Amino acid sequence: MADRIERVEVLVASPTRNYVTLRVTTADGIVGLGDATVNGRELSVASYLRDHVAPLLIGVDPNRIEDTWQYLYRGVYWRRGPVTMAAIGAVDMALWDILGKRTNQPVYQLLGGRVRDGIPYYSHAFGWDIPALLDSVREHQERGETFIRVQSGVPGLDKVYGVSKDPNYEPAGRGARPSEEHFDPGAYMRHLPKVLTAVRELVGPDVKLLHDAHHRLTPIQGARLAKSVEEFDLFWLEDVTPAEDQDAFRLVRNASTTPLAVGEVFNTIWDCQRLIEERLIDYVRTAVVHAGGISHSRKIFALAEVHGVKAGPHGPSDVSPIALAASIHMAAATHNWGVQEYMGYPALVHEAFPHAWSASDGMLQPGDAPGLGVDIDEDILSTSPYVPAYLPTARTLDGAVLDW
Ligand code: KDG
Ligand code: MG
């Protein structure tokens, strides 16, 4: 008789930051893990999973991965959105993990096997001013990294996305309400070319430089920025304008040849269908956790492959080591992979989620453990309760709310 799902547990814990972890156990005693973390909305996904999804999974054959995905997506009428898709994503990851453990194979093997020897990653260099940023870039180079994201402070602004006066940057702040910060697009747009001039001068032509504008600009401002940084040969310019209006990217595209990346807030293929089919972007940044797991992300990246677009998935600290593992396994087996973001984690997060994947010399490796190769340390998770924490809110200088 086929195996059956016997137990479904949702663990919410805060080993330095909040994570929502799904643990699925089968009657044969196989345990699969999935990540369902949505930064600042952790309890909503936990409730969605506990109250509405877990009861439906009991008794289901865990081998029916695609059918379970369709059942949780189409079968419930209400669909899409970060909470729903992260919940489905966690179930999907856990079922792939179970399949790998049952067949004693790493998930990348189940996805078709390796297409590359290692997965290049980029991590985050930042500095409050240009000299501090250059020091940070040097540190990344000393670690053997050749893809480096660069973010800098902006004169006149107190807080800027991607930059901290503290050496450890974490965008979500603990507390009952989001903190607020002000942003001046003009000052930022005037400053960025100066920053990139200094960085390019330091690293020379070979290092791949990335930058995240984090949704702050209007389409025409985005077009102007993309044009003004063309000479620095960025690997990509990310989230140059919000992408709910996918057609807005045409304006940016028509203005410059700077490669464009977008999509960390997307949840389904339909959020990026036009961007991909009309070749308005170069890299799609959907995270496996936020875009319905491995099963749905594969479809996004397959559509992208047909249109010459590559995967460059989101990988900040709020994507847990379980979802990062899923992304690394996909990267190992997906041809059109550009680069994986790897922000890194504090030591306690590595301890809370012991993992077979590894990062060194600018490359990620999935490891050969069966399934996703990630475990949890229950002692750490059970002694690290949830703490309210939110991403900041941004306002323009006149006080109106701006996309953060
Ligand atoms: O939860 C949102 C953060 O992870 C996001 O702001 C980080 O933009 C980000 C990135 O590119 O890592
Ligand atoms: Mg980003």
Q: What is the pLDDT of residues 170-193, one digit of tens each?
A: 899 999 999 999 999 999 999 999
User: Which of 260, 264, 327 has most ligand 1 atoms within 8 Å of its beta carbon, as the pocket-test mutant?
Assistant: 264
Segments of the chain with pLDDT less than 70? none
Distance 7 CA to ligand 1 centre (A): 32
pLDDT at residue 166 in the model: 80
Catalytic residue among 19, 161, 188, 345: 161
Q: Where are the alpha helices (DSSP H) in 48-129?
A: 54-57, 65-73, 82-103, 107-110
Residue 212 in contact with ligand 1 by CB distance below 6 A? yes
CA 123 to CA 334: how far, in whole Å? 21
Ligand 1 atom closest to the Cα of residue 238 is 11
CA 352 to CA 350: how far, in whole Å? 6
User: Alpha-carbon dihedral of residues 265, 170, 153, 197, nearest 10 degrees?
Assistant: -70
Give the ligand at the shortest distance from the Cα of 319.
1
Residue 42 in contact with ligand 1 by CB distance below 6 A? no
Whose Cα sits closest to atom 10 in ligand 1?
A: 316
pLDDT at residue 165 in the model: 82
Whose Cα sits closest to atom 6 in ligand 1?
A: 171
Distance 286 CA to ligand 2 centre (A): 10
User: Taking CA 267 as the corner, what is the angle to CA 249 and CA 177, rounded to the nearest 5 degrees?
Assistant: 95
Ligand 1 atom closest to the Cα of residue 317 is 4
Catalytic residue among 214, 290, 314, 329: 214
CA 239 to CA 243: how far, in whole Å? 8
Residue 35 in contact with ligand 1 by CB distance below 6 A? no
Distance 353 CA to ligand 1 centre (A): 20
Asked whether 326 and 93 are in contact (CB, 8 A), the reply is yes
Distance 56 CA to ligand 2 centre (A): 34
Beta strands 180-183 and 393-396 are parallel
Query: Could you tell me the end-to-end alpha-carbon distance of the chain, in angstroms, rounded to an integer?
Result: 51
Q: Which residues hold their Cβ within 5 A of ligand 2, which is an ion?
A: 212
Residue 316 in contact with ligand 1 by CB distance below 6 A? yes
Distance 156 CA to ligand 1 centre (A): 23
Distance 213 CA to ligand 2 centre (A): 8
Active site residue 161: yes
Asked whether 10 and 22 are in contact (CB, 8 A), the reply is yes
Give the ligand at the shortest distance from the Cα of 124.
1
pTM above threshold 0.95: yes
Residue 264 in contact with ligand 1 by CB distance below 6 A? yes
Closest to 100 (Cα-Cα) out of 90, 89, 91, 111: 111
Asked whether 56 and 1 are in contact (CB, 8 A), the reply is no
User: Alpha-carbon dihedral of residues 165, 137, 227, 311, nearest 10 degrees?
Assistant: -100
**Distances from the Cα of 367 to the Cα of 33, 106, 182, 364, angstroms:** 17, 8, 43, 9
Ligand 1 atom closest to the Cα of residue 239 is 8
Strand, helix or coil for residue 363: strand
Distance 163 CA to ligand 2 centre (A): 13
Structure tokens, 403: 């996309």
**Distances from the Cα of 135 to the Cα of 125, 152, 212, 321, angstroms:** 9, 12, 19, 28
Active site residue 214: yes
Whose Cα sits closest to atom 12 in ligand 1?
A: 316
Ligand 1 atom closest to the Cα of residue 214 is 8
Ligand 1 atom closest to the Cα of residue 315 is 12
Residue 39 in contact with ligand 1 by CB distance below 6 A? yes
